[in-house]
Amino acid sequence: MNAIFERFKKTGIIPVVVLDDAKDAEALANALCRGGLPCAEVTFRTAAAAESIRIMHEKFPEMLVGAGTVLTTEQIDQAIECGAEFIVSPGFDPELVKHCIERGIAVTPGTQSPTDMEQAIKFGLDVVKFFPAEPSGGLKMIKAVAAPFTNLQFMPTGGINASNVREYLSNDRIVACGGSWMVKSDLIREGRFDEIEKLVSEAAQIVREVRG
Ligand code: 3PG
């Protein structure tokens, strides 16, 4: 498996963040590192995404920083230029996957159906996002679709939180879970980084308990 996905596996939970203002990126990255999840999927839902990636990558070189909600090849190029080490998209867009492969960056496209997963396999991918995880059938669905795709591993995201993440992490086809519950936008906006650090360390503790 790609070295980036080995790091996904080690971290266990990938915090999905939405930053309205890049000035919060450093404090957020600090809370993530201190809390024990030195990783962030910074979503391109706001104009602050690229600059936030750059700040996190430069100030916390030990962190694994990637870009999420990526919808265009321009965003991929921008994310790479800012130091992103992985790309996540909500759905399966062959053009984006091809571009990531050509640029040599790890990509976790969103999949929801066996058809999406077959496409991912055709591109040589062995890790896909399963999105939106809970509304799409959760772990039960993953177990069912994982059966025919014996080499595929999953990063479920969407509706995962402190109360259900344990069961996902216990399954050996799950590389990591994506989630925003410990890095909610209102906590970031209000500067409540101590609270974020506490939620992150609780999440990191769950990963340790389940995966050792
Ligand atoms: C999202 O859509 O914001 C991500 O998939 C994270 O989902 P969540 O907010 O349900 O954790």
104 within a domain of the structure (yes/no):
yes
Q: Is the pLDDT of residue 111 over 80?
A: yes
Q: Give which of 152, 154, 162, 109 is closest to 133, Cα–Cα.
A: 154
80 within a domain of the structure (yes/no):
yes
72 within a domain of the structure (yes/no):
yes
Number of domains the chain contains: 1
Q: Which ligand 1 atom sits closest to the C-alpha of 16?
A: 6
Q: What is the pLDDT of residues 35-61, one digit of tens each?
A: 999 999 999 999 999 999 999 999 999
- Domain CATH for 196: 3.20.20.70
pLDDT of residue 153: 98
148 within a domain of the structure (yes/no):
yes
Q: What is the pLDDT of residues 70-82, one digit of tens each?
A: 999 999 999 999 9
210 within a domain of the structure (yes/no):
no
Residue 193 has a CB neighbour count (10 Å cut-off) of 22
Q: Give which of 81, 75, 82, 74 is closest to 52, Cα–Cα.
A: 82
Q: E strands within the chain?
A: 13-17, 39-43, 64-68, 86-89, 106-111, 127-130, 153-156, 177-179
Q: Give which of 188, 171, 198 is closest to 12, Cα–Cα.
A: 171
Dist. CA 135–CA 141, nearest whole Å: 10
98 within a domain of the structure (yes/no):
yes
Predicted structure pTM score: 0.97
What are 157's strand-pairing partners? 178
Residue of minimum CA distance from atom 11 in ligand 1: 179
pLDDT of residue 41: 98
Ligand 1 pocket at CB < 6 A: 16, 131, 157-160, 178-181
pLDDT band at 212 (very low <50, low <70, confident <90, very high): confident
User: How many Å lie between the centroid of ligand 1 and the Cα of residue 131?
Assistant: 9
User: How many Å lie between the centroid of ligand 1 and the Cα of residue 2?
Assistant: 24
Q: Supply the range of the domain harboring residue 25.
A: 2-204
SS3 63: coil
User: How many Å lie between the centroid of ligand 1 and the Cα of residue 110?
Assistant: 12
Q: What is the pLDDT of residues 120-178, one digit of tens each?
A: 999 999 999 999 999 999 999 999 999 999 999 999 999 999 999 999 999 999 999 99
The residues annotated with a catalytic role in the active site are: 41, 129
| Percent of the chain predicted with pLDDT > 70 | 100
135 within a domain of the structure (yes/no):
yes
Q: Is the pLDDT of residue 1 over 60?
A: no
φ, ψ dihedrals at 73, nearest 5°:
-70, -30
User: How many Å lie between the centroid of ligand 1 and the Cα of residue 165?
Assistant: 13
SS3 20: coil
Ligand 1, from 14, 16, 165: best to mutate by most atoms within 8 Å of Cβ?
16
Q: Which ligand 1 atom sits closest to the C-alpha of 161?
A: 11
209 within a domain of the structure (yes/no):
no
Q: Is the pLDDT of residue 11 over 90?
A: yes
Q: What is the mean pLDDT of the chain?
A: 97
